[in-house]
Structure 1
Amino acid sequence: MIKKVSMHLSGMMFLFLGSLICGLGFLFSMTSNKSWFIEWEIGKLNSCCIVMSLILDHISLVFSSFVLLISSMVLFYSGGYMDNDKSFTRFMYLVLGFVLSMLLLIVSPNLISILLGWDGLGLVSYALVVYYQNEKSANSGMLTVLSNRVGDVAILLSIGLMIKLGGWNFLFNSFFMSDRDLLLFKSLIVLAAMTKSAQIPFSAWLPAAMAAPTPVSALVHSSTLVTAGVYLLIRFSPALEGSVVMPGLLIISCLTTFMAGLGANFEYDLKKIIALSTLSQLGIMMSILAIGAADLALFHLLSHALFKALLFMSAGSVIHNTKDYQDIRHMGGLINNMPLTSMNMTLSNLALCGMPFLAGFYSKDLIIEVVFMSSINVVSFILFVLSTGLTVCYTFRLIYYSLTGDNNVGSMSSVTDSSTLMTSPMIVLAAGAVIMGACLSWVLFPESYMICLSFFLKSVVLSVSLIGGLIGYMLNIMHVNYVLLSIKNFNTVSFMGSMWFLPYLSSHVTCKWSFKVSKNFESVLDKGWLEHFGGQGIYSTMTSGSLFVEISQNKVLKISLKMFVIWALIVLFLLD
């Protein structure tokens, strides 16, 4: 027990100190308008230098500060949540490796050096998803790692295409990338970001990754793995601005937001509801990136990290106290027995909805207003409005089932807020969810956006939010009629509640098709022509060649040559 406590406390203090240093560096960088760039040359390929680069500017420093802050709180929280776990040390090392990979990704402005963090996130996330060694975790981990491998291949292909620029530093070369020369390169970068941030059709792995322990979910869904794609597009924003790939990304991200909000209203797994809310917010970040406002995407990325980590920690505290149940139908009335956790959970949910003067309000409301001011198509506009209402709807549904509502907690559950190891980091993040939105808006936007909207557009978000919250609460108060309505429209409910069948398409259909294609490739190539001209062909050629060389080096060949010469001379002598 002493080893466990000392390990998570020392890790927490180390990361928290690093967060303070990065925060001070961010403030200095913003006030002095300075950045630090470090580069080591490793080797040369033709005229291109292979280098290891680090960039410390206001973007990397502020994001590193938030990652380290949330990671330190997660480590402290894990001391209570994973207290009885037999592999606690292994868990701590995996989390620290996860944080290190994310930091390498953040400070790398080079497409080759960024692979250290990019592939590290994929590898360590697989190890964390399969941490609980059972069949469900193994399937979820395989879906996660294979979906992310698509993005890894896209990054590797991008490295090959970027060689025509004479280097792989995308931070400096982004201003010289035109659609005429590097359209395929930009498409691959967007594809890599879509896989990492789980946009359609790669959305199935995000809820599946909930098989990992809850502290890992709090870290993954707030500031690390799923935000890597958004961060990559923020860095590439000068190259992608005005590109022809952006309208497609806008439609896909809006559909992802709508699909996640719709699916969360039919889900009963507490962690999957929060995972789908993360997917919805990632769609919002991607859509504002597609419009061209990378600074707003960074703002929402930072504010979302705080209240989403708080929401997962609150959910983990609820699960930990209700006999490890994740079904919200087995909860209810927790506000009486867990007032502190209920307060934090409600606070994070309200921040998610964009409640005025909480962290989510400053970023989300500004994003929606900028979207309404921009020249987007009607489909994207309607999807944005509906997604805003669905967010409030599933949030109030979650509050009703878990915190208020009827008490359905099992009789053997010990529902209490007694664990200070779990409640203390929640209080820190709750303070951040309240004040950091305003502080970030003051620092990141010293000159505020000029918003000019009609009364209708200004009031439509508030109206849709109020209607969504009312529907979400009323439908679940009348849950008997709601269930009967769901049974009558089973096919429609099944389609909307299963993420439009994406998990099925990503696993069963894709696996059957890929297995069939791989079997044909194996029979034709691996066991066919490649075997004939490859391994076996080379083996037979080298065997016959070495046999000839061996014979030529023996005395038998020399004697045979001498006898041939003697007989030739005898024949010539007789002919003369």
Structure 2
Amino acid sequence: MCLYMFIFLFFFSMMNFIFMIYFIMNNLVIFFEWELISFNSISIVMSILLDWMSLLFMMFVMMISSVVIYYSKSYMSSELNLFRFVILVMLFVFSMILLIISPNIISILLGWDGLGLVSYCLVIYYQNVKSYNAGMLTALSNRIGDVLILMVISWMLNYGSWNYIFYLEFMKNDLIMMFISIMIIVAAMTKSAQIPFSSWLPAAMAAPTPVSALVHSSTLVTAGVYLLIRFNLLIMKVFFIKFLLLMGMLTMFMAGISANYEYDLKKIIALSTLSQLGLMMSILSMGFPDLAFFHLLTHAMFKALLFMCAGVIIHMMNNIQDIRYMGGVSLYLPMTCLCLNISNMALCGIPFLAGFYSKDLILEMVSFSNLNMMVFLFYYISTGLTMYYTIRLLMYMMVNDLNLLSVYNLYDEDYIMLKSMFILLFMSLISGSFLSWMIFYYPYMIYLPFNLKMMVIYVSVMGGLLGYLVSNVNIYSVNKFALTYNLSNFLCLMWFMPSLSTYGLNYYFLSFGQNLLKIVDMGWSEMYTGQGIICILKNYSSFYNVFHFNNLKIYLFSFIIWMMIIIYMLFLKIY
């Protein structure tokens, strides 16, 4: 089953690649449209937009999903219901493809909602309490974006068509279009886990590792970024875009700091995804959609590889994810560690790997743009933090001593996993350069002073040095002071965002529903007879009691309010 799906997806990935080159060479765009329903003046049409961008993104999605399904053949081999897992992953991929090729907001909603629903099924795959909690947080966070897109559909009825491609130019100063743009931005922020919706992304690590590799590289989290790239000309006219820049930078900064305090291997990689999403969102809000798309594609390759390497290591370590137990892994898993190190270096932006081409270009455009000092500092500090947590992770996993067991069985002989990882390793090495030649058919020449050009190198070296030093510090000796402990608690827990999202938003509403369920379960007769009527009468009598004992005060207060209203009316009449 896995092998057939791998061949099917890989074949279509290569087909998309050939078509994409043909479309770029001939500057082609194909727009299909057929009418499904027509009533009164409204026609519901199904549209497909094929251009170089949608074909290239489909190629990357299909390649990563094919490799992940092949990897699952070995990783999920102990599962009894592997067939269900593969079907869920395929549904996930098809939902993403529907979202990629849709210029129509209704078909976008189908893909968008499909992603949300299938991601919930995949996050709760292991069916324990942690998975159910994480799945509920993921589903409810994503529902906000779904509801906003439904509102966009209803507001677009004013214009007679749901194809956003028609509104890009001639409705720049329209108030309703501005509201539509704001709703699309907030919907994209929920799906791409920007502050204040960030807490679901690390929680979604409860899913199996192949799912994490797929979800956090090229599909679910990038759906919001892709939507904004498509709607780019529409949203750039909105004042709200500056808010998106701020939220993107804060997300990038917050994720970088939290990753340095984290000990769960998968959660560190998830937080690095969050950091890169903040980078994409912020550069997109500055008006560079091509750079955001470029970074989205290069990031997809090395991030999927990073998760797959982490999956192999967790598998060998008796399903332990805590990096404090690991150490000297490179002696026992040399090929996996080779892939892990190269993907980590690509993430840091080491020259001539995939991440370097997009990240360096983004940071140079930030230095070149007319922005304030805060934006500049946030970008470069976040880049330094990426290097910081990567070096810390490598020190814990590769250099330190193994702290797991006195007798252990580590091996690197699973060729199915290795083959799938080597495909992505090859892509992590070459995808940056080949994309930079294809997407930018004229070279970006950015003239900067020498120190600004070298700023990325300075910040990376400093971050790496700090990561090396911090990995040798005993964190418990540092936390003797209450201030340091409280501060580290605040930074480690993603600025208390998971608690605010669960207890602050979900908990009270869900408990309200639970109370309502109790009433319905007991029956309305129980509510309005016997014990229920006594409670209602008690509440009314206490209210009347307060009213009765304070009646003079209430009378005087109402008299003063009436006098103020009369004076105000007279004042209006005179003037």
TM-score in terms of structure 2 length: 0.88
Instruction: Output the amino acid matched with 1:483.
Output: Y
1:519 to partner: Cα distance: 8.3
Q: C-alpha displacement at 1:405, in angstroms?
A: 1.5
Provide the residue aligned with 2:357 in structure 1: 362
**Correspondence for 2:476 among 483, 498, 520:** 483
* 2:357 is equivalent to residue 323 of structure 1: no
Structure 1 residues 468-512: Cα deviation after superposition (integer angstroms, max 9, x where no partner): 0000011112x22x3311343110000001100000000012134
The C-alpha deviation readout for 1:50-89, integer Å capped at 9, x for no partner, is 1111111101100000000000100110011001111111
Q: Which amino acid aligns with 1:18?
A: F
SS of 1:52's partner is strand
Contact 2:16 2:58 (8 Å CA) reproduced: yes
| Aligned position for 2:392 | 397
SS of equivalent residue, structure 1 residue 139: helix
Listed as ranges, the matches of 1:509-548 within 5 Å are: 509-515=504-510
Cα distance in 2 for partners of 1:475, 1:226 equals 30
Does residue 31 of structure 2 align to residue 17 of structure 1? no
Query: Deviation digits for residues 309-333 of structure 1, max 9, x if unmatched?
Result: 0000000010011101100011110
Q: Secondary structure at the match of 1:53?
A: strand
Letter in structure 2 aligned against 1:261: G
State whether residues 37 and 56 of structure 1, in contact with CA within 8 Å, keep that contact through their aligned partners in structure 2: yes
Q: Paired residue for 1:501?
A: 496
For residues 301 and 45 of structure 1, what CA distance do their matches in structure 2 show? Answer: 40
Structure 1, 467-476 or 37-46: larger mean CA deviation: 37-46
Change (3 A) 1:141 1:340: same
Aligned residue number for residue 463 of structure 2: 468
Alignment of 1:167-566 (within 5 A): 167-181=161-175, 182-411=177-406, 413-477=408-472, 479-480=473-474, 482-488=475-481, 489-515=484-510
Is the 1:392–1:465 Cα contact (8 Å) retained in structure 2? Answer: yes
Q: State the Cα distance separating 1:171 from its structure 2 match.
A: 2.2
Query: Which protein shows a greater Rg?
Result: 1
Equivalent position SS for 2:252? helix
1:55–1:109: 8 Å Cα contact kept in structure 2?
yes
Give me the whole-angstrom Cα distance separating, in 2, the residues matched to 1:244 and 1:279: 24
Contact conserved, 2:182 with 2:238, CA < 8 A, in 1? no
The one-letter code of the counterpart of 1:389 is G
Q: Give the secondary-structure state (helix, strand or coil) at the position aligned to 1:55.
A: strand
The residue number in structure 2 matching 1:69 is 63
Q: Does 1:144 align with 2:138?
A: yes
How far apart are 1:523 and its partner, in Å? 12
Q: Distance in 2 between matches of 1:348 and 1:261?
A: 17
Per-residue deviation, residues 513-563 of structure 1 (Å, max 9, x unmatched) = 435776899999xx99xx99xxxxxxxxxxxxxxxxxxxxxxxxxxxxxxx
Contact 2:172 2:237 in 1 (8 A): no
For the 8 Å contact 1:126–1:144, the answer to whether it is kept is yes
CA 10–306 in structure 1, closer or farther in 2 if over 3 Å, else same: same
**Contact (CA 8 Å) 2:182, 2:235: kept in 1 or not?**
no
Q: Which residue of 1 aligns with 2:105?
A: 111
Three-state SS of the structure 1 residue aligned to 2:432 is: helix
Q: Is the 8 A contact 1:101 1:121 kept in 2?
A: yes
Q: Structure 2 CA distance, aligned partners of 1:282 and 1:69?
A: 21
> 1:175 aligns to what SS in structure 2?
coil
Counterpart AA for 2:209: T
How much does 1:262 deviate? 0.3
Point out the more displaced range, 61-70 or 109-118: 109-118
In 2, Cα distance between the equivalents of 1:175 and 1:326?
A: 50
Deviating beyond 3 angstroms after TM superposition, the runs of 4 or more aligned structure 1 residues are 515-524
Q: CA deviation at 1:379?
A: 1.9
Distance in 1, Cα, partners of 2:216 & 2:267? 11
State the AA in 2 paired with 1:29: F
Look up the match of 1:551: none
* Structure 2 CA distance for aligned equivalents of residues 403 and 87 of structure 1: 35
Using the TM superposition, give the Cα deviation of residue 404 of structure 1 relative to its aligned residue in structure 2, in angstroms. Answer: 1.9
Query: How many residues are treated as equivalent by the alignment?
Result: 522
Amino acid at match of 1:352: L
> What is the identity, as a one-letter code, of the residue corresponding to 2:140?
L
Give the Cα–Cα distance (whole angstroms) in 2 for the partners of residues 203 and 410 of structure 1: 36
- Secondary structure of the residue aligned to 2:106 is coil
Aligned-pair CA distance for 1:409:
3.0
Alpha carbons 1:165, 1:173 under 8 Å: kept = no
RMSD of aligned Cα (Å): 2.1
The alignment-based identity, stated in percent, is 52
1:416 CA drift (Å): 1.4
How many Å separate the matches in 1 of 2:243 and 2:154? 24
- Structure 2, unaligned stretches of length 5 or more? 529-575
Deviation track 1:358-401 (CA, whole Å, cap 9, x = no partner) reads 00000011011111211223222211111011000000011111
Q: Quick one: which of 20, 24, 37 aligns to 1:26?
A: 20
| Alignment of 1:40 onto 2:34 | yes
- Cα distance in 1 for partners of 2:240, 2:173 equals 9
Is the CA contact (8 Å cut-off) linking 1:323 and 1:413 kept in structure 2?
no
1:185 and 1:509 map into 2 onto residues whose CA distance is 27
Aligned counterpart, 1:93: 87
Gaps of 5+ in 1: 1-6, 533-576
C-alpha displacement of 1:243: 2.2
Summarize the Cα distance change of 1:45–1:402 in structure 2 as closer, same or farther, 3 Å threshold: farther
Q: Structure 2: how far apart are the matches of 1:64 and 1:310? A: 18
